[in-house]
Copies of this chain bind each other. A is one copy, B any other.
Amino acid sequence: MNAHIKNVEYAVRGELAIKAEALRDQLNKTNSLPFKTIVNCNIGNPQQLQQKPITFFRQVASLCDNPDLLLSENRHIVSQLYPEDALQRAEVLLEHIGSVGAYSHSQGIPHIRENVAKFIAERDGYAADPENIYLTQGASAGVQSILSILVKDKSTGILIPTPQYPLYSATLSLLDATPVPYLLDESQDWSLNVTDLETSVSTARANGTDVRALVIINPGNPTGQCLSEENMREIIEFCYTQQIVLLADEVYQTNIYEPEARPFHSFKKVLMSMDSIFHDLELVSFHSISKGMIGECGRRGGYFEAHAIDPEVMSQIYKIASVSLCPNVHGQILVDLMCQPPKQGDPSFEKYSQEIGSIYSSLRRRSRKLEACFNSLEGVTCNPAYGAMYLFPQIRLPAKAIADAEAHGKAADNFYCLEMLDATGVCVVPGSGFGQKEGTWHFRSTFLPPEDLFDDFCENLTNFHKQFMNKYRD
């Protein structure tokens, strides 16, 4: 068997998640557990936790699936169920797609890539070329393709943050490449220090590692930080000087909870606003339909924009995309809708805005409520989430808990999270699944449980934590 696969770790769906599934099965059969339901806070999966899909998006998607609804003989019935702009959008899409059941262009449907390019241009104020855009099955598939192309062998190093979303470490294990970790500074709201980056690179290079790319997740996962424009400029200069490809995971770009103090800037925009010598920097930016206020995770849709990438590499990217034939067309359609939602004056605009606005403000409220909850717990500190969907509190555990965990062959944070799951049904992910500074313990929790259950959710966590601390108090 492939030995690299044995080394892969992916805690988001690891031991805790598998145990949570088993407990859910048990709950369905008996009522013998101290909680009524499993709450999956291990993964950013909003629609699993009752977040409603955006009506307009689903209307268009369903019309594309069933084009009989667009036939003129059905129009008088269908127009009682669908607004005019949904019907029109589906017609335009089908004109370009043909059938959603056909393989599309391997790079993604040209019309949809044009709409992505328009979206990027409107967002950044700088043009984007549809030829540089690849539609993908979620951002994950894009990240995996790009890493597989950048990695030559074990000698290739890729800079990844600590803590990081484990897609990166898992993919590097699979490719047998060398992760080169750099630390995010918890005491400075998880900011990124370019001096530390330089140290990581020079140490790795001194050890013979060919450092080729830097992964930045902004807004951060699991950390929720949102980089300042100034910090981004430093990073771009660093990559340019060091001849390092910048991989910008920007899937949480609309999950921004302090838009005045900590707005989102895309790396593409910051790059283009700098002196033109920097415009040659190789940059790949990833986006997804799974996050934001959309949360269409199950469709597996996303895109990446490849900026200033070597043409030879671009042709290899195309070839690799073509072996998998094409990204699924349903995901592509949602990318189109995400990039070109209803506009002011369209029949669906008001409903669309109201839905997006209500999900957004609820996420913001929940993020703050959970942050306050965590900060109220003994031995726990938690930075705010300026962006994304997660909090990553630090937990200072009693020595007895750490010793007991060791006796069970578990990392202390894993031990804590397993006890939390057993006591409350809440499934989170131990910090060790993301990487953390030596000697510290964390966990990642989404703040996605439904708002009407949120007070209970916080109360359960608080009670569990008190009991845990009392049980293991030295």
Query: Which A residues lie at the B interface, using CB under 8 A?
Result: 1-3, 5-6, 8, 10, 12-14, 21, 43, 45-48, 53, 55, 58-59, 61-63, 65-69, 74, 77-78, 80-81, 98-106, 137-138, 140-141, 144, 148-152, 167, 170-171, 174, 290, 295-300, 312-313, 316, 319-320, 322-331
For residue A14, which residues in chain B have a CB less than 8 angstroms away from its CB?
322
Contact B5 A319 (CB under 8 A): yes
Specify which chain B residues have a CB less than 8 angstroms from the CB of A98 in the assembled complex.
47-48
Residue contact A299 to B6, C-beta cutoff 8 Å: no
- Taking a contact as CB atoms under 8 Å apart, the answer to whether A149 and B101 are in contact is no
Contact assessment for B10 and A329 in the assembled complex, using a CB-CB cutoff below 8 Å: no
Looking at the assembled complex, report how far the CB atom of A21 sits from the nearest CB atom of chain B, in whole angstroms.
8
Given A48-B99, A101-B297, verify A65-B74 contact (CB < 8 Å). no
Contacts of A151 in B (CB 8 A): 2
Q: Known contacts being A61-B65, A68-B55, A299-B328, is A102 close to B45, with CB within 8 Å?
A: yes
Q: Contacts of A68 on B, CB cut-off 8 Å?
A: 55, 58, 81
Find out whether the CB atom of B149 lies under 8 angstroms from the CB atom of A99.
no
Check B81–A77 contact: CB distance below 8 A.
Answer: yes
Judging by beta carbons under 8 Å apart, are B62 and A298 in contact?
no
Q: How far is A200 from B39 in the complex, measured between Cα atoms in Å? A: 54
**Please, which residues of chain B bring their CB within 8 A of the CB of A171?**
323
Report Cα–Cα, A260/B168, bound state, in Å: 52
Oligomer: number of copies: 2
B43 touches A103 (CB 8 A): yes
Can you name 11 extra interface pairs (CB under 8 A) apart from A47-B102, A102-B297? A1-B313, A2-B316, A12-B322, A13-B106, A46-B102, A62-B66, A138-B325, A144-B324, A170-B323, A174-B320, A297-B325
Which chain B residues lie closer than 8 Å to A150 at the CB level?
1-2
Q: How far is the CA of A74 from the CA of B62 in the complex (A)?
A: 15
**What chain B residues lie within 8 Å of A329 (beta carbons)?**
298-299
- A56–B57 Cα gap in the complex (Å)? 22
List of B residues within 8 angstroms of A323 by Cβ: 8, 10, 13, 140, 167, 170-171, 174
Please, how many angstroms separate the alpha-carbon atoms of A312 and B296 in the complex? 33
A53 touches B101 (CB 8 A): yes
- In contact, A48 and B103 (Cβ under 8 angstroms): yes
Q: In whole angstroms, how far apart are the Cα atoms of A55 and B59 in the complex?
A: 18
The reply to whether A69 and B74 form a contact with Cβ atoms under 8 Å apart is no
Contact A319 to B62, CB < 8 A, known contacts A47-B98, A101-B296, A103-B45: no
Q: What residues of B have a CB within 8 angstroms of the CB of A12 in the complex?
A: 322
What separation, in Å, do the CA atoms of A465 and B152 have in the docked complex?
45
B300 and A10 contacting across the interface, CB-CB below 8 Å: no
Say yes or no: B48 contacts A58, CB within 8 Å: no
- CB pair A149–B62 under 8 Å, yes or no, is no
A295 to B151 Cα, complex, angstroms: 35
| Nearest neighbor of A99 in chain B, beta-carbon distance | B47
Which residues from chain B contact A140 at a C-beta distance below 8 Å? Answer: 323-325
Chain B residues positioned under 8 Å from A3 (CB to CB): 152
Give the interface centre of A137, A140, A171, A296 by most chain B CB atoms within 10 Å: A137
Q: Are A10 and B319 touching (Cβ within 8 A)?
A: yes
3 A-B pairs with least C-beta separation:
A62-B66, A298-B329, A13-B322
